[in-house]
Chain A
Amino acid sequence: MKRVMGKIGVFLCHCSLSPLKAAAAEKVIETISQHPATAYAEICQDMCLQPELKRVEKAIREKGLDGVVLTSCSPSLHQESFRNLISSAGLAPHQFEVADLRERVDGGIAPEKAIEVIENLIERLCLAQPPVTVELPVTKKALVIGGGVAGIQAALDIADAGYEVFLVERSSSIGGHALQYSEVFPTLDCPQCIMTPKMVEVGQHPNIRLLTYSEVEQVSGQIGSFKVLVRRKASYVDWDKCTGCGECPRVCPVELDSEFDEGLSKRKAIYVPFPQAVPNKYVIDKRGYPPCRVACPAGVNAQGYIALVSQGKFKEALEVVRRDMPFAGVCGRVCNHPCEVDCERGKIDEPIAIRELKRFISDYELKIGKEKATPIERAKEGKVAIVGSGPAGLACAYDLVRKGYPVTVFEALPIAGGLLRYGIPEYRLPKKVLDNEIDYIKELGVEVKTNTPVTNLAQLFEQGYKAIFLGTGAGLSQKMGIPGEETAGVIHALDFLKQVNSGAKVSLGDRVAVIGGGNAAIDAARVALRLGAKEVAIVYRRSRGEMPAAAGEVDEGEQEGVKLHFLTAPVRVLSQDGRLTGIECIRMELGEPDASGRRRPIPIKNSEFAIDVDNVIIAIGQAVDKAGLPKELTYTDWGTVSVAPVTLETNIPSVFAGGDVVTGPVDVIKAIAAGKEAAESIDRYLSGTDLHRGRPKQITKAEELSKEGVQLRSRAEMPILDLKQRDGSFTEVVLGFDEETAMEEAKRCLNCAACSECLECLTVCDAGAIDHEMQDEIIEVNVGSIIVATGFELYPRENIHEYADDPDILNGIKFERILCPGGPTDGVVVRPSDGKTPKEVVFISCVGSRDPEHGLPYCSRVCCMYLAKMAMLYKHAVPDGQAYVFYIDIRTSGKGYEEFVQRAVEEDGVLYLRGRVSKVFRDGEKLKVWGVDTLSGKRIEISCDLVVLGMAMVPNPAGKELAQKLGILSDEYGFITEVHPKLRPLETTVPGIYVAGTAQGPRDIPDSVTQASGAASKVLALFSSSELILEKVAES
């Protein structure tokens, strides 16, 4: 590389060398002077002073230097004056270097280090190329991040000066924490009164573009021209249309803790955070799918209908079920409810009675009488044939007809319903319930052709059907494979139930054995009892725990008189003269687990015994009857129809299959889910869109809720029919909830996903603003400068276990809400646990702050004052109460602050105790505080009603990530680092990005406001010139 310079001068400020001994400093100069490129070297007096600068300037000229090394203490401060010096000496900016000697020499590094640093710089200077100057236009728009009091002030100042400002705020309204306070010290103004006008001004300012409910996603560019991507989070409400009328929250059934009131009041899932919100626009709090909905194979929105039940909106609740599937009544009775297994409430006490509530809303419809449904307009062309009218077929038909397709269901049997009708006994699923639901499907426009077996698919295509769904189920009973199985009197459960359900007369002997442990076995046994059998026994080869039948059904069967023989397997059907006389069984024991995870039953040798029976009912499973299906279909190893996963296509084009015919016998809800999935495929197939894209549907599960403060309440019990009344009767056994019980039970729901998507808000929004499908939107803003005003949070209480979760130990902001006249208690001071007026309140300063072992080492600056204020306000509200304040040092250094605390002590009798608190614990109705008065040296014990913690301020947790996006530095706690703590407190380490308010460090409102205005002035100064001149090092 070419050397461009050779006459280098070195001017070392004595100040930066002062830690070295005189001799050592001389040595530095001596060594440097010997460097081949050095033309001149000297130790100067204070280089920061004008006379010396003038002298150096003269020396540079006189000696004809073409490169200069200067030393200083903190180069960030001197760079500019050195630059001026260099340019007035006639040199270019690349012709000088500044050595930051002080930091190094101070750090205990020897003169050798200083020499090394300087020599390196001399070398660098010799090779330096003239920089390229770049003229950058300045985009005269600013971005302010954070809409608390600092952000508001900064935005207003810049906007008032005539520049456009984008104000980005994470929550839906600007205002920040300030609005949560009761009154502000030392003037006791109400923050609403002082903040609202400013907020309205922001909202109406022609130069301010308010981007609330938004977050900064990405930042690129540099001073003068930053490109910022802002994520506008989906609010699910079109703010251009929303008038803020407040109708939607009135109908929203979901109540959640209000963040604004710190959990002391409730808000709805559609909400504005507080009444004075700017903009006064609603957002819907959606957190994904609730666990119950995730667990449901058909994705039925349980939280949605439960929320509506809790409000007594039973009809609307049924509509919510019907958005996903038509069988509220059926599933409300026979579903195996995976939803309840995953119900979050189950982690506290018992799961919500989800299935029973579903049944309740369908019963309610039957009770008040169903209105005839309006047929759906056939908007689509392709005719669809559904073969089989079981749950899979009907669910498929239901979804397709609602999409606008002409759908015909073909059923071989006389009445539609499939296994639901012919497999499940009346006392468990009354026919009128099923009829009601099938009627509903028909009313929507599905044509059902009964007594119409389909044997030839080609015929259907000839009739103009464009797609076919096969949902013919698994109706073939499996055989036991034991001798005597063909004896008369041996019946298959499915045939048995079908006959009974069809109303045919079935006569049984007095003694009946049922083989199997599934629902069909229990059903058959209980039906047998109802038909008059005297003794009914179930023979099952494993034990009770392994029974696939629903436990409740087994219990009910047992109550009714069904005997259970566990660990027993049939070996032979016994008969005499062709007449069945009994069944020979063998005892079993459980061995190693098999493929199903259940322990495999192993016969015990020589344990055979006989049971005398007149009939044997076999209920050991069903299989697909291939005989009734087209020959071309391919099958799995298990004899079920082979289909593509997810899309459910069979090997025959335009033919889909689902339900038991594909899976073998499974739960009703899975069959429904398969029908729905097939409907989706058929719709895509007929409309010519890709069958696979976006499937299976990606579902975001709601994050697990905190269960803090949830009160235990047990699950409502379903009443059941008296045992006597059941005898010989097919009346339904389980009776269902009354309205009041249903509502109470529904209120136990924790609303895991916040918004329940019941869509009630849609019905009342005249403006048509609600949009549950809304997506986040990324917008790009181009600005010349950025102000970070992301504010603070309180130190998390969980981190300090001494102040464990007692409801009467509050953080400061929570107590502010209690004191606030417009707060959740209308300013009446009560304690959260029991609503009583606290007569003794202990305030504790420095909780988590000035306490490196339990929290943070720094002081939070505002707590002394706000505790004094709160103690004073408390005394105003409860004049006969006593307030105690534990403190370490009282810090009241603002205007009027010292006097304010004096007033609290003298006028309001607040007792200040100097000392730390060692323990706070519950003692019956009271809280006990143990502490020490360091002034008297005595231990103190106070029995009080309420404890208020002066909790440390920490930076907003999102601030750290934001700092990374912006490329600015933050300290170990996350507070934004300024360029220089004394003289450049508003500038961050990136030019063009400034900081205001508590994002930089804890401070009170006046200091935040002042600083915000200060940051604004930096932006305004930047915008006063139309372009920036930046120098870039030339690429060599």
Chain B
Amino acid sequence: MKRKRIGVFVCHCGLNIAGSVDVEKVVEQIQDYPGVAHAEHYIYMCSDPGQELVRRAIREKGLNGIVISSCSPSLHERTFRNLVASERMNPYQCEIANIREQCSWPHPSDRETATKKAVAIIKATIEKLHRNIPLTPMVVPLTKRVLVIGAGIAGIQAALDIAEGGYEVVLVERAPSIGGHATQLSGTFPTLDRVPCLVAPIMAKVASHQNIRLYVYSEVEEVGGYVGNFQARIRRKASFVDEEKCNYCGLCLGSCPVTTHSEFDRGLSQRKAIYISFPQAVPPRPVIDNQTCLHFNGDQCKACEQICPSQAIDFQQQDTFVEEKVGAIIVATGYELYPRDDISEYASDPDVIDGLQLERLLSPSGPTTGEVRRPSDGKVPQQVVFIHCVGARDPEHGVPYCSRVCCMYVAKQVMLYKRAVPNGQAYIFYMDIRSDAKGYEEFVQRVVEEAGVLYLRGRVSKVFRDGEKVRVWGVDTLTGKSIEISADLVVLATAMVPNLGVKELARKLNIIFDEHGFITEAHIKLRPVETLTSGIYVAGTAQWPRDLPDTVSSASGAASKILSLFSRKELLHEPTIAVVDTEVCSGCGQCVSICSYKAIELDPKKRVAKVNEAVCEGCGACAVACPSKAMKHKNWTPRQFFEMIDVAAAEYV
């Protein structure tokens, strides 16, 4: 190995380092170390005069390796690598020896130890630097299009923000219409806006935006590639209605002889086998549900085809696939309610309904046109019990976490219920009231005062049918008394859970999700809209339960990350990544299975591992796993590590 001519620059960082490290002594002890051609110290290496010292030393002493002994590399590695690059040195010949966070700060009052440790850290870094090879960052092309998966409020907002930013968006939605759960809601808290009024305009905007390509009734089938260069394969499910020909007249709906439960009304109304999921659907085109359609179930029924004036019905239609190239992806797959069947206490009584069902009953455009009538007999319920935290905050019967929105939507529902049934009485069983956003606390107060609702702090132990009534047994933990209420209707605020299928999607995208299936963000505090995979972002309830404003904010946040990303011409990828020594590699494939980024594949012919350099994040897991040591991390080879350890630990051996 050819020894380099190395310059060592020791920073005082004011008193941050020099306060406990004797910088002069460090320079004294390091200047004769093998390979060191120059050593000096300065009060602030990162300052202009400090950088000038490095520049001058490179020129005058002909240095070809630089060790800056200063703070964490996360702070100034880039500064100094840019500096040496401007002196026509390879930037990867510059290393930072962290003698602040790892030395002066933890040893504030032990000057001797700190000084000794600083010398050891610098020597170890010199050893590493000797074996550093010159590297060049990879240039990765950038496709400035975005795939947004899910067209609920989050997906819509993200798509609109990016489209407004001037980039093309591919918006994929599984359901026949965009809009998500928000379209099912009766009103919003705390302003009691009508939801169609809120969402219809933005849905219309999505449909007409020139930068948005909308695929409804579609699913992401496969995703490959990496940041800047993803390819997505999208399955467009057969709707059996030709989208070019259909003119939305709706005649087909009347002709269909089949009726089945409406998903949109959560079983509280009926739809046909050919249906538009809800009147405000975007696009307003019908689809045929081949599970219930007689035509697909052995019957010859062609009622819809016969009535359609524009010959849009096409029973032969097949699923089709489209390929889209995008540079970034937003996951906005939303939520579902915790399945009620999982909670045996709340048996399957028609008058025990979930929150979304009550939303439909309260909605002026719902199955009862806004009149609150209970499903079993259509009577107006006079006593309604609302139960919080059903399946939430309840690790034994559901999920341990809090669903964040239930406290507020229950309060809102009570308000709307009281407006619809002024002489009715509402009871709410709660554990803690969580009304922690703008205007929320005040709203709950209003509900208590205006609607005269009885808030009971406690859990419900049993709900059962008792003739015309539903009996609720519970406990008021404030008075310690047990409570029995004979109710007409029971509303369950069931937990929000991630949308079904999101785990499968996450696997396709190679992003991480937590034990509940929510997408995991890169950093919970500071990178909440990024996933750990570059170029893939998360928005809305796919990440965690949240309400509309927080969903909209997170969608705009994810959009901004992409707008920033797309402002560049191309992407630079760090070259400190894994490399295979094909002479040694036995093709065992251990590295392939351990790589979280799917960056390694086996070359089927040569039977050796191959690293996709643009995908590799340089984590080093493969290098550790490789039994034959064929997999190496550039500039972090085992040899470099061992030589560093030898020096650093010399005194302790």
CA distance A609 to B75 in the complex (A): 92
Of B14, B201, B528, the most chain A CB neighbours within 10 A belong to B201
B557 at the interface (CB under 8 A from A): yes
CA distance A996 to B561 in the complex (A): 15
Question: Given A48-B201, A893-B402, is A187 in contact with B525 using a C-beta cutoff of 8 Å?
Answer: yes
Q: Which residues of A contact B549 (CB under 8 A)?
A: 981-983, 985
Contact A189 B197 (CB under 8 A): no
Q: Which residues of B contact A53 (CB under 8 A)?
A: 204
Of A280, A897, A975, A982, the most chain B CB neighbours within 10 A belong to A982
CA distance A907 to B200 in the complex (A): 49
CA distance A84 to B203 in the complex (A): 14
Q: Which residues of B contact A30 (CB under 8 A)?
A: none
Contact A1024 B166 (CB under 8 A): yes
CA distance A46 to B560 in the complex (A): 33
Contacting A74 at CB < 8 Å: which of B157, B197, B284, B403?
B197
CA distance A46 to B543 in the complex (A): 33
Contact A899 B400 (CB under 8 A): yes
B467 at the interface (CB under 8 A from A): no
Stretch binding the partner chain, chosen from A382-390, A870-878, A1002-1010: A1002-1010
Q: Which residues of A contact B49 (CB under 8 A)?
A: 243
Q: Which residues of B contact A696 (CB under 8 A)?
A: none
Q: Which residues of A contact B400 (CB under 8 A)?
A: 898-899, 902
Question: Given A77-B198, A200-B75, A1013-B558, is A895 in contact with B524 using a C-beta cutoff of 8 Å?
Answer: yes
CA distance A986 to B160 in the complex (A): 14
Within 8 A of B (CB), among A987-1028: 1000-1003, 1005-1007, 1009-1018, 1020-1021, 1024-1025
Contacting B553 at CB < 8 Å: which of A198, A890, A1014?
A1014
A363 at the interface (CB under 8 A from B): no
Q: Which residues of A contact B157 (CB under 8 A)?
A: 983
Contact B518 A895 (CB under 8 A): yes
Give min CB distance, B447 to chain A, whole Å: 14
CA distance A597 to B255 in the complex (A): 108
Question: Given A187-B524, A1014-B552, is A49 in contact with B197 using a C-beta cutoff of 8 Å?
Answer: no
CA distance A187 to B527 in the complex (A): 13
Contact B557 A1017 (CB under 8 A): yes
Within 8 A of A (CB), among B594-630: none
Within 8 A of B (CB), among A64-116: 72-74, 77-78, 80-81, 84
Contacting A983 at CB < 8 Å: which of B198, B440, B480, B543?
B198
A894 at the interface (CB under 8 A from B): yes
Of B208, B437, B439, B554, the most chain A CB neighbours within 10 A belong to B437
Nearest to B477 among chain A residues (CB) is: A935
Question: Given A51-B284, A1007-B550, is A198 in contact with B543 using a C-beta cutoff of 8 Å?
Answer: no
Contact A859 B440 (CB under 8 A): yes
Question: Given A186-B524, A859-B436, A895-B524, is A157 in contact with B248 using a C-beta cutoff of 8 Å?
Answer: no
Contact A889 B433 (CB under 8 A): yes
Nearest to A822 among chain B residues (CB) is: B105
Contact B564 A161 (CB under 8 A): yes
CA distance A897 to B401 in the complex (A): 8
CA distance A924 to B15 in the complex (A): 42
Contact B196 A245 (CB under 8 A): no
Q: Which residues of B contact A1000 (CB under 8 A)?
A: 438
B364 at the interface (CB under 8 A from A): yes
Stretch binding the partner chain, chosen from B186-194, B238-246, B637-645: B186-194
Contact A898 B197 (CB under 8 A): no
Q: Which residues of A contact B556 (CB under 8 A)?
A: 986, 1013-1015, 1017-1018
Contact B197 A1020 (CB under 8 A): no
Nearest to B15 among chain A residues (CB) is: A246
B205 at the interface (CB under 8 A from A): yes
Contacting B75 at CB < 8 Å: which of A73, A196, A980?
A196
CA distance A899 to B47 in the complex (A): 45
Contact A1005 B525 (CB under 8 A): yes
Within 8 A of A (CB), among B23-69: 43-44, 47, 49
Contact B564 A15 (CB under 8 A): no
Contact A1021 B563 (CB under 8 A): yes
Question: Given A78-B197, A889-B433, A981-B439, is A46 in contact with B79 using a C-beta cutoff of 8 Å?
Answer: no
CA distance A194 to B527 in the complex (A): 10
Contact B165 A1021 (CB under 8 A): yes
B451 at the interface (CB under 8 A from A): no
B262 at the interface (CB under 8 A from A): no
Contact A1005 B554 (CB under 8 A): no
Contact A858 B442 (CB under 8 A): yes
Q: Which residues of B contact A404 (CB under 8 A)?
A: none
Contacting B525 at CB < 8 Å: which of A48, A84, A1009?
A1009
Contact A1001 B161 (CB under 8 A): no
Within 8 A of B (CB), among A148-169: 149, 153, 157-158, 160-163
Q: Which residues of B contact A1001 (CB under 8 A)?
A: 437-438
Contact A84 B208 (CB under 8 A): yes
Contact B436 A982 (CB under 8 A): no
Nearest to B44 among chain A residues (CB) is: A243
A896 at the interface (CB under 8 A from B): yes
CA distance A51 to B435 in the complex (A): 38
B393 at the interface (CB under 8 A from A): yes
Q: Which residues of A contact B567 (CB under 8 A)?
A: 160-163, 1020
Of B193, B403, B558, the most chain A CB neighbours within 10 A belong to B193
Within 8 A of A (CB), among B314-370: 364-365
CA distance A15 to B188 in the complex (A): 16
CA distance A1006 to B585 in the complex (A): 44
Contact A1020 B196 (CB under 8 A): no
A857 at the interface (CB under 8 A from B): yes
Contact B279 A49 (CB under 8 A): yes
B441 at the interface (CB under 8 A from A): yes
A934 at the interface (CB under 8 A from B): yes
Question: Given A161-B564, A898-B400, A1013-B561, is A1021 in contact with B161 using a C-beta cutoff of 8 Å?
Answer: yes
* Known A197-B75, A1010-B550, A1021-B161; further 15 A-B contacts with Cβ < 8 A: A46-B200, A48-B196, A49-B280, A80-B201, A81-B200, A157-B560, A822-B105, A859-B440, A889-B433, A937-B478, A1007-B553, A1010-B529, A1013-B561, A1017-B165, A1017-B556
10 closest Cβ pairs, A-B complex: A1014-B556, A1017-B560, A1013-B557, A889-B432, A48-B200, A893-B404, A1024-B166, A246-B14, A1021-B164, A161-B567
Could you list 6 examples of A-B contacts with CB < 8 Å?
A15-B197, A50-B204, A194-B525, A245-B44, A858-B441, A896-B401
